[in-house]
Structure 1
Amino acid sequence: MPLITGGQSILRGPGFLGHPPVIPTDLDSHFRYISGIFFAVGVAFATCVPEIEKKGPRFRLLGALVIAGGLSRLVSLIAVGVPSTGHLFGLTMELGVVPLLLLWQAGLAKRWGAPA
């Protein structure tokens, strides 16, 4: 998800979400900057795939970044209101699926005797 969503957001800006260009341009720039970070997180997650049972520290750091983003999204939900379905999907991934993936990776590390 981070590779596809981040890449499309970098290339298309807010248009990826069905929005017109953002004015002022600083908001578009910030949107694409955050999208670049999201894309880089996806690349970093992909580097964990080979021998994932040995990549615990990296996997946990990346997971923590995603969870921090999800908590920030939750602040927006509380402060501003419920976002669109796509953003709710992201919130579910960030605060539901990613913690489960962290537990799954720790289980693999324990099973295969790798450092958790």
Structure 2
Amino acid sequence: MFEKRILQLVVLVASLVPIGAGLGGIIVGPWLFGARSYSVDLISHVGYLSGLLLAIGLLFVFSVPNIEKHKSRFLILGFIVFVGGIARLYEGMLTGFGTLPHQLALGMELVVTPLIILWQRRVARLGGY
């Protein structure tokens, strides 16, 4: 199915965002995100959250081969990403929306990811799942 193949490609490309940000946060730490001062606690927190972000991206990638069969996984991952976006939106309303990469991440979390989840459900339905 052509639509399934396009969805698989889109998910692979979109997964590069959390994988890259997760690896960057793990390797570079808060400095990747423009932090000028830091504490051991901030470094620890950024490392932990970056690991979660990396895992989310990898789970999306692992779902690509049989993408139509992973409705529950996509829904759970999408929910996690969306709730993270709501938290980012809340913080942005309090303190400002930061740099362009953070604004684009907000768009991925609140718009792109939900659209991908809906698209995956459509492909699953068309595939009989």
Q: 2:79 aligns with which of 60, 64, 69?
A: 64
Please say which of residues 76-85 and 53-62 is displaced more in the overlay: 76-85
| TM-score after normalising by structure 2 | 0.83
Gaps of 5+ in 1: none
The letter for the 2-side match of 1:42 is: G
Runs of 4+ in 1 over 6 A off after TM superposition: none
- Between the two proteins, the alignment pairs up a number of residues equal to 113
Q: Summarize deviations over 1:1-51 as a string: whole Å, max 9, x none.
A: 11111011101102223434x422111110111101111111111111011
**For residues 43 and 77 of structure 1, what CA distance do their matches in structure 2 show?**
27
Match of 2:31 among 4, 7, 15: 15
Aligned equivalents of 2:107 and 2:25: distance in 1? 19
Supply the distance in 2 between the matched residues of 1:92 and 1:60 (Cα, whole angstroms): 18
Identity over aligned residues, as a percent? 39
Structure 2 spans left out of the alignment, 5+ residues: 1-16
Equivalent residues in 2 for 1:18-57, closer than 5 Å: 18-20=34-36, 22-57=37-72
**Higher relative contact order, structure no. (Cα contacts within 8 Å, ≥ 6 residues apart):** 2
